[in-house]
Structure 1
Amino acid sequence: MTAAATAQLAFDGSGIDGSLFSSVTDFARATPWLNTPMEVWTNFGLGVFAILMITGWWHARRRGTRAMTLALTAPVAVLTAFAAAEVVKRIVAEVRPCRSMPHAYVVDACPAPSDYAFPSGHSTVAAASVAALFLLDRRLSAIAAVFAVVEGFSRVYVGAHYPHDVLGSAVLALPVALLVSLAARRWATPLVGTLSHGALRPLLTAEPAVTARSAR
């Protein structure tokens, strides 16, 4: 099947909130000085969530086995949510707004026709990070939530997604990542506790090892 045929078979989501999408991209047209920063952020801003998860892991080393389990699970929860989003993306097959609304102002390059729009992969990672950090550290989760909102807005600003693509990402990612974290906290904590007494101890806890002599 050709790329053109693939695009024709894809779902056109412009009828849902195309006018809101146009309002945001018109704002992008009126703020050319912001185009490059937004384009850079939308593609590289996900690194912030990795930094927050690493920070959560570092603090968890001093907070016990359950916290460390949640810290180790955070990237797994994010990847699980992203995988679920990719499945939904293939099922819905919504054509990108840069193709369904070709006259709209688009900052980012238009992806291939087979790279569908709903839900937003970037926004999925951002929202899943918020949920994965929620049980671990509420402050880090709150910081992640602020950056997730910026990430979601940037996806619409650069013309990569409709607003409902971003909202759909949050609706999908938040419960998936939270459920993965809850399941891991319940079932994987004993394993992490065992590993924390072995060769991986320096990575899993900052507490000093208790030797037989010091225990007397």
Structure 2
Amino acid sequence: MLNELDTELFLALNGAHASWLDQAMFWISDRNFWFPFYALILLFLIWRYRIKAVGIIFTCVLAILVGDQITSSILKPWAARPRPCHEPSIEKMVHVVWECGGMYGFASSHAANTFGFVTVLVLLIGKEYPWLKWLYVWAALVSYSRIYVGAHYPGDVLVGGTVGILGAVLVSFLYRKLPLNYQI
């Protein structure tokens, strides 16, 4: 029942594509496209926090690693759920914007990584910079792009985002538990 609902929702969202939006969604979905964005955040953290930025950056990287490994190394092989573009029963209905990707898609690493990254920033410095919560819109856009390009079901994205957030909460909690003289 859940699988059928996820498939129907995927087909509705993926089917509501527009040719003029394909290129934008291709770039939004491409990890390499966001490197300048990450560099700006990195420079901001270094400018604002100097040596303390190392701890924040390390926590962001650790959250991304945790989310990525849980989704890619544990959930995808365990669930073995084909990506929509590899699912024989619907593959002809899937609008694929670029290559399909690996065989399995549950859960989305893109969603885990982006939501994990944003959550660390919000948890560690969000009180000082409340505008950081708006980065969740960016994470949601990247996650939606994965449905648009035909790589993930909505459930893959939802679980991936949840894994990313939970991983970020865990590593941020551990970072905050370090004695202050070890919090770089």
State the TM-score, normalized to the length of structure 1: 0.71
Task: Map 1:123-202 to 2 at 5 A.
Answer: 123-138=111-126, 139=130, 141-187=132-178, 189-193=180-184
- Does structure 1 retain, via aligned residues, the 8 Å contact 2:67–2:113? yes
- SS of match in other structure, 1:160: coil
Q: State the shift of 1:39 in Å.
A: 0.5
Whole-angstrom distance in 2 between the partners of 1:123 and 1:73: 17
State the TM-score, normalized to the length of structure 2: 0.83
Whole-angstrom distance in 2 between the partners of 1:159 and 1:20: 12
Whole-angstrom distance in 1 between the partners of 2:39 and 2:76: 23
Show structure 1 runs of 5+ residues with no match: 1-12, 194-216
1:82 aligned onto 2:68: yes
1:60 alignment partner in structure 2: 49
Whole-angstrom distance in 2 between the partners of 1:50 and 1:118: 29
Instruction: Pick one of 25, 50, 67 that aligns with 1:38.
Output: 25
How many residues in Structure 1 have an aligned counterpart in Structure 2? 174
Structure of larger gyration radius? 1
1:120 aligned onto 2:111: no
2:96 alignment partner in structure 1: 106
Q: State the shift of 1:89 in Å.
A: 1.6
Identity of paired residues, percent?
28
Show structure 2 runs of 5+ residues with no match: none
- Does structure 2 retain, via aligned residues, the 8 Å contact 1:56–1:133? no
Name the one with the larger helix percent.
2
Whole-angstrom distance in 2 between the partners of 1:119 and 1:153: 13
1:15 alignment partner in structure 2: 4
Provide runs of 4+ in structure 1 moved above 6 Å.
Answer: none
Whole-angstrom distance in 2 between the partners of 1:35 and 1:188: 48
The residue type paired with residue 158 of structure 1 is V
- Does structure 1 retain, via aligned residues, the 8 Å contact 2:63–2:164? no
Q: State the shift of 1:146 in Å.
A: 1.3
